[in-house]
Structure 1
């Protein structure tokens, strides 16, 4: 990865962010030294052979071990008759098998199709058919979902893993607990499937043949959440992801401007690896820096999660607003030693200022927000990591990244004006898989990806997201952004979580409705409304308040307003 910094450039016309870069940060990344993730993988495994790469449930896989196990997966896939470019699905939570399989697929010249293990049969069938997946690796806990759709897909090979497969003797106990005690494995039947251990055994007897993988070849089909309709596959090339690693690599080093950089970085991987955020920021950045990822299979189990964190000196913690919020409400988390935490990186959804301020007070680490999408591999912008305070913005475009705020007609708007955030750079996807019309809608003729997010850029080049286009509420002709209402509501101590949506109103077109999860059981609707009235102009105030015990969330913990809208 490029590590030679050039002199900070003079600000270019239309690129105000360059003047705000950290000292010595280049405007562009150097030429990529690798053609494929597989090339980078093999170099990293040689360079960091004895270092820990992934740790899960007390078991550690070194880079050497990761090399050996993933080689078996790749060799088996080649021996099974798949050809270069074939798509292989991976339906796994954060367990050691996940990176072993993913890197095995990439090394053998195939394309990874990441699948959310919690998908319904309908969602899984759509994704497998759309991708034309020829094989799937699935954890037995979710094999019953595959069983319901396999016959209607192009799948020729199904490999079923168990939680304990790579945990040694302890794995036998883990499997008994998962199956018999916790009863987390529904009955399933997949005739002709192979076990993960059988595949490793067969792969050990086969040879991984070298494949000429080019920068433009497809590494991942990363399916978007389907928030705008049917889920689409963002076509991410090897070059897209290597570029984003190079961009983040330059940015990451500035986190250690004012503190000693550990030789061996420890990343906390609580977000799911099948999601683009953790895939790149955790797995791929860990690979490129020789770092260790602590895998958390179930971050929703906060007490178990906190017990796990306590065992390690974590340096880098990527997370979401909802996760930070949930952790801070755990008494044991409040007692942890955070002295090793060099970087808390927030993404996936807006980090609310009350949450950020509480986090910094509790951990001593300011949350640094970044921004990106599946379509941008994912990181497009980030706050400076060498400065202390939480900015409430998504930061500056990364090196080699252009951001413009554009109107509905695609015209670039002046600084400070609200419009759609549009992104151009080497990390922007090649397009949507087999959807040329959707690709043409999403990427302008001059190469800018239309994010669907509304925001503005200030004179320093910092970008502030106001909201998603589709989440905007129109009250009597005024635009109301849910993020603003939620951030104000969250400053009321009695609120744990909240979400604002628009509901039909015969007088104003739409009115604001706020869904609230209480921290204080005695909190009343009148108190919530009074607090909002004191801090928001009339048309922004929630007309309706509904208390819930929980809010619907995506697989990464992002609050789903669309589900609240029904």
Structure 2
């Protein structure tokens, strides 16, 4: 089935309709090109310590040498990595990929139950974990197929004396490293020393080999491993780099990486696409420490930053952020959740740079749509399908709907995952016979080919038979100066089936429920107005700062 592609007419100059997927066979092939071109340039920096592309080359080869030469892992074996943004992450990830193995990214905040599920489901035989989270590994490792645990401290690669001080403070002053004992565990630095004895053998990696098992759906049910192949990731790197290429200067970029690299958005956009441009990735280990984050931004010259709405909102509300030097900043990319107009407009006012919204999923590696990089103002859209990508809106019967009508957003392109690991039924439910991935997001397309997310299918509120989309309610309430954060959910109601409830974190302590309802009456039709208003000190969020509406619904129920 062919579909109209009105978005091609809106592509910025120089962006091709199709990308060349076959230019690179694998992620290591792209990395090796960057090493040749930008060897002496800083690749990753964290807590004041930088590693060049040449150093990443050497260290990742050593880690690959350890996995193949010492542990005797075979092609396709899975290696779990459980850590926040630190220098060990890119070394380990590129080492695993160069060895022809598969990375299993693990959220370090996982509970023992969640970790066990992921390790058992993926069949990982090795796990690399930061000391702070090793207690969780200790609790479950005997119930998994993991045969080697590798541990590391946050300061281990920061050099002397800084690294020793960081490790001492975390363990003994801040008490952030619970005691643990894992029989046979090896230190990461020792794996590099041992791996240096084993030169990296020539390894054939094909497009169809699985690069990442990227777990998703943990907020909606049991987490499933999306099989992202080298082709999927290379395609998305080619698509995104073609899209943003006109705005960047290869070899001169520095991107702020505050979202965790174990999350698909930062992994591809920052860790891979900007690696292709020879950029420096400024790794922020704990972006929740907003004052510390702002201090870091004052220290570093940066040209690009990615984030989610709550991250940008948090920065804008942190004292000192407006004193940061934004003179080099040219790209701000928002994704992972809807960007709110109030936040986007304030970002533009403070930084002088438009907050460009993008859209993607773990299952699409992740970029599917991005707004033009030369966008003058926030437009409320998720943008246009990226090169070599088709998008359409379908009804419940699988029919493509005309422009302007709301239905489920479907995506087709080379970045769409191979499927879910060991879950053929789930794969068949997500990807139809024509190769369309059904996203579960309700959307519409305008006549120019811009797509607009109306809401998650599951989050939609049904009031007396009318569809109410939480994003719209949240946008309206977020316009109030006294509101810091807001989430809208449906709660059971005897008369209307469901009623709208808003949960708010106040910026102004004097804000009242009546003021919120009065503002809603002015801006929303009757059935969309919140019947219930609750104030909280904070909203429940995922590891990347996405607001968990499900948790709020469960609380209400």
Q: What's the TM-score, normalizing by structure 2?
A: 0.98
Per the alignment, residue 8 of structure 1 pairs with: none
Deviation of 1:408 after TM superposition, in Å, equals 0.9
Q: What is the CA–CA distance in structure 1 between the aligned matches of 2:300 and 2:56, rounded to whole Å?
A: 20
2:68 pairs with 1:73: no
Question: Residue 49 of structure 2 corresponds to which residue in structure 1?
Answer: 59
Q: How many residues align?
A: 551
Deviations 1:30-80 (A, max 9, x none): 242211111221221121100000000000000000001111100000021
CA distance in 2 between partners of 1:398 and 1:262 (Å): 21
Cross-structure match for 1:5: none
Contact residue 22 and residue 254 of structure 1 kept, 8 A = no
Aligned to 2:231: 239
Q: Which residue of 1 aligns with 2:407?
A: 419
Matches within 5 A, 1:165-180: 165-169=156-160, 170-180=162-172
Q: Which residue of 1 aligns with 2:79?
A: 88
Deviation at 1:262, TM superposition (A): 6.6
Alignment correspondent of 2:22: 32
Q: Alignment partner of 2:372: what SS?
A: coil
CA distance in 1, matches of 2:15, 2:29: 26
Deviations 1:82-124 (A, max 9, x none): 1000000000100000000000000001000000000000000
Post-superposition CA distance 1:140-184 (Å, at most 9, x none): 100000011100100011100111111110101110011011110
CA-CA distance at 1:225 after TM superposition = 3.6
Which of residues 471, 480, 490 is equivalent to 1:483?
471
- Do structure 1's residue 533 and structure 2's residue 521 form an aligned pair? yes
Q: Which residue of 2 aligns with 1:500?
A: 488
Pick closer, same or farther for the CA change 1:421–1:13 going to 2, 3 Å: closer
- 2:350 aligns to what? 362
The aligned runs of 1:249-268 (5 Å cut-off) are 249-255=241-247, 261=249, 263-268=251-256
1:298-357 Cα distance to aligned partner (Å, 9 max, x none): 000000000001111211110111011111111211111111110100000000001100
Aligned counterpart in structure 1 of residue 209 of structure 2, from 208, 212, 217: 217
CA distance in 1 between counterparts of 2:66 and 2:410 reads 42
Contact 1:254 1:386 in 2 (8 A): no
Q: Secondary structure, in 3 states, of the residue corresponding to 1:119?
A: coil
Q: How does 1:337-486 map to 2 (within 5 A)?
A: 337-486=325-474
Q: 1:330 aligns with which of 302, 309, 318?
A: 318
| Cα root mean square deviation, aligned | 1.0
Q: For 1:322, what is the secondary structure of its paired residue?
A: helix
Q: State yes or no: 1:556 paired with 2:534.
A: no
Counterpart pick for 2:93 among 90, 102, 107: 102
What is the CA distance between 1:462 and its match in structure 2?
Answer: 0.2
Secondary structure of 1:32's aligned partner: helix
Q: Do the aligned residues in 2 keep the contact of 1:163 with 1:174 (CA within 8 Å)?
A: yes
Alignment match of 1:230 (pick from 215, 222, 234) = 222
C-alpha separation in 2, matches of 1:279 and 1:368: 18
1:425 shift after superposition: 0.3
* 1:13 positional shift: 5.8
Tell whether 2:178 aligns with 1:190: no
Distance across 2 between alignment mates of 1:22 and 1:428: 24
Alignment CA distance shift 1:111-1:508 (3 Å): same
Structure 1 residue 24 displacement after superposition: 3.0
Aligned with 1:387: secondary structure?
coil
Within the candidate set 270, 284, 291, 1:282 is matched to: 270
Check the 8 A contact 1:49/1:62 in 2, yes or no. yes
After superposing on structure 2, the runs of 4+ consecutive aligned residues of structure 1 that deviate more than 2 Å are none
How many Å separate the matches in 1 of 2:9 and 2:383? 13
Contact 1:53 1:286 in 2 (8 A): no
SS of match in other structure, 1:467: strand
Aligned 8 A contact 1:396 1:462 in 2? yes
Alignment match, 2:4: 14
C-alpha distance in structure 1 between counterparts of 2:325 and 2:297, whole Å: 10
> What is the SS of the residue equivalent to 1:17?
helix
Mapped partners of 2:377, 2:368: distance in 1: 20
- 1:49 is aligned, of 31, 39, 49, to 39
SS in structure 2 opposite 1:197?
Answer: helix
Q: Is the 8 A contact 2:250 2:279 kept in 1?
A: no
Q: TM-score, normalised by structure 1?
A: 0.96
Measure the CA separation in 1 of the matches of 2:131 and 2:216. Answer: 24
What is the CA–CA distance in structure 1 between the aligned matches of 2:210 and 2:127, rounded to whole Å?
A: 17
Matched position secondary structure for 2:113:
helix
Give 1:148's aligned residue. Answer: 139
Aligned partners of 2:230 and 2:315: how far apart in 1? 35
Q: Which of 92, 108, 130 matches 1:117? A: 108
Q: Distance in 1 between matches of 2:472 and 2:21?
A: 41
